[in-house]
Amino acid sequence: MLFHTSRPTSRFWRPRGCAWLAAAAFLLLAGGCAGRPEAPILEQTGSREAAQTAGRLAALLPADVLLVGEQHDAQAHHDIEQQIVSSLAARGLLAALALEMADVGVSTAQLKPSATDEQTRRALKWDDKAWPWTAYGPAVMTAVRAGVPVLGANLPHARMPGSMNDGKLDVQLPGPALKAQQQAIRIGHCNLLPESQITPMTRIQIARDITMADTIHQLAFPGKTVLLLTGNGHADRSLGVPQHLRADLKAKSIHLRAGQGQGNDRADAFDSVWPTPALPETDHCAGLQKQLPAVAR
């Protein structure tokens, strides 16, 4: 704000002597402006795809928690995730964005909406080799621009050995669900894991689900939605994160399915299935077999 005054006529007026007062006033005004929180920057697109996503999303709301299960290598899924973030933020409904792709303990809460990609990646301690920023950056930055905190929700690697040996995790799922989770571990590793590794690996999966659920509990806010981006297995209502959420939270789970998926989708696994084009055939088991040569023999 600028203050305009007429020039005083008193013979005691000293322009040079008062210069420091003008400078001090300027600094105070500048400091006051710098201390104001930045306005959110809402990024929206008028594309047909974005409008379709907004319509599908509206059919699932209201929800305290929205879990979006993706196929990690499907670019179409990342595009939809960015559209979901944008739609929720534009409506003032997005409480926070939680990510499987970053560990608990990291957050963008201290960043301004004008923060750069690099500042955001540092705040989240982003592992670009495991999770390409080109895929996840658009959704993350849309939340940051909107002034919505982005938080890591995954179990840190340092805690995994303890989880593998934690027998209490074996009773965190009902018996049939535990068996189904163990079978999912077998199939997900192309039946290459020795049977002795199935229980420890299942415990890690359950510990990750519990960690993500605990993160969501800390972020829940009445009238708004916590959005979790994760793999399809973690978003599964009968096996994953939803099994560990508080009963008072209304949670909805979306399955982003590339092509026909695995062909074994259960009706109770998700609240909504959003199909996307099929991906080129890839032999993931061949790659895993190279990583586990001793097991494959």
User: 246-255: per-residue pLDDT in tens?
Assistant: 999 999 999 9
Residue 126, amino acid: W
pLDDT at site 43: 67
- Domain membership of residue 179 (yes or no) is yes
Alpha helices in the chain (DSSP H): 19-34, 48-58, 75-90, 117-124, 133-145, 160-164, 175-188, 198-219, 232-235, 284-291, 293-296
Inform me whether the pLDDT recorded for 5 exceeds 90: no
Asked whether the CA dihedral 173, 214, 211, 263 is positive or negative, the reply is: positive
pLDDT at site 4: 42
Contact present, 208 and 157 (Cβ < 8 Å): no
- Domain membership of residue 33 (yes or no) is no
pLDDT at site 265: 66
CATH code at 82? Answer: 3.40.50.11550
Which residues constitute the domain of residue 271?
Answer: 62-277
Q: pLDDT > 70: what percent of the chain?
A: 83
pLDDT at site 45: 63
Count: domains in the chain:
1
pLDDT at site 247: 97
Q: Among 30-39, 63-72, 138-147, 283-292, where is mean pLDDT lowest?
A: 30-39
User: Who wins on pLDDT, 283 or 260?
Assistant: 260
- Domain membership of residue 203 (yes or no) is yes
- Domain membership of residue 17 (yes or no) is no
User: Widest CA span of the chain, in angstroms?
Assistant: 100
- Domain membership of residue 43 (yes or no) is no
- Domain membership of residue 8 (yes or no) is no
- Domain membership of residue 20 (yes or no) is no
Write out pLDDT tens, residues 163-180.
999 999 999 999 999 999
Q: Among 17-31, 77-91, 175-189, 246-260, where is mean pLDDT lowest?
A: 17-31
- Domain membership of residue 256 (yes or no) is yes
Burial of 91 by CB count in 10 Å (0-12 exposed, 13-18 middle, 19+ buried)? Answer: middle
